[in-house]
């Protein structure tokens, strides 16, 4: 190709690109990408119970599945830092009137509490309990006096859900549901890793890598979870 011909083609190409930009046409391959538009967590903003600087939004999209967004307050708005991540809900869906043993995930806004797991703390900036085969979460027909909805030890006479479960409870965080410990209102509601069956009995589960990222993202900021 001759030099004059090459220069002519370059000039023509530049003119076409300039014209396309003026007409609002899509950029050509190799052009610098446009800046991403800020995404807001409008569902979080509409909920008056939200008060935290960071919120884990669990947005239900089917009976058993949800999308998780990590939302951070910026001024008067909440912006999406990360997500969506896929999540699983209770095998019977969700409810605003949770009862013990119904297999449903409670809807609402709750504070994220301490973590626990069969492994060491992956980076959650809260208290962490490395559980053993002696640890249980008291559930079922227990009364408030009997430790209902708290972590206890079998060696001290308590009975409940075994917490030494390396698949779902390698890493887990307590969702502050029923902190009044009202018997029968539901217990052992956690954010944890997916089970082998991809089902939960009322918790919210995520893929392990995304769960760990969610734990680290909270940092030292008090965090709530919105399930809706």
The domain locations on the chain are 1-35, 42-227
Counting as low any pLDDT under 50, the low residues of the chain are 1-35
- State the distance between the two ends of the chain, measured CA to CA, in whole angstroms: 64
Q: Which pLDDT value is given to residue 36?
A: 63
Q: How many residues does the chain have?
A: 228
| Integer Cα distance of 71 and 53 in angstroms | 9
- The residues that bridge with 161 in the sheet, in sequence order, are 137
* Per-residue pLDDT at 139: 97
Model's pTM, two decimal places? 0.84
The pLDDT of residue 37 is 86
Question: What are phi and psi for residue 38, nearest 5 degrees?
Answer: -65, 130
Per-residue pLDDT, 198:
95
HEC per residue, 62-91:
CCCEEEEEEEEEECCEEEEEEEEEEEECEC
pLDDT tens by residue, 89-109:
999 999 999 999 999 999 999
């Amino acid at each position: 190709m001759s030099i004059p011909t090459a220069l002519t083609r370059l000039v023509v190409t530049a003119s076409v690109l300039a014209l396309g930009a003026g007409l609002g046409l899509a950029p050509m391959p190799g052009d610098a990408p446009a800046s991403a538009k800020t995404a807001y967590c409008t569902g979080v903003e509409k909920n008056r119970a939200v008060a935290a600087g960071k919120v884990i939004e669990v947005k239900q999209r089917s009976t058993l599945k949800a999308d998780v967004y990590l939302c951070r307050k910026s001024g008067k708005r909440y912006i999406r830092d990360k997500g969506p991540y896929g999540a699983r809900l209770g095998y019977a869906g969700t409810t605003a009137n949770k009862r013990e043993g119904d297999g449903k995930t409670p809807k609402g806004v709750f504070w994220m509490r301490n973590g626990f797991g069969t492994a060491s703390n992956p980076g959650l900036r809260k208290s962490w309990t490395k559980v053993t085969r002696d640890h249980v979460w008291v559930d079922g027909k227990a009364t408030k006096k009997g430790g209902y909805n708290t972590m206890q030890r079998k060696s001290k006479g308590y009975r409940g859900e075994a917490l030494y479960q390396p698949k779902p409870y390698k890493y887990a965080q307590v969702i502050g549901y029923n902190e009044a410990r009202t018997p029968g209102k539901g217990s052992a509601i956690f954010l944890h890793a997916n089970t082998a069956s991809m089902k939960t009995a009322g918790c919210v589960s995520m893929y392990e890598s995304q769960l760990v990222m969610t734990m680290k993202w909270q940092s030292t900021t008090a965090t709530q979870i919105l399930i809706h």
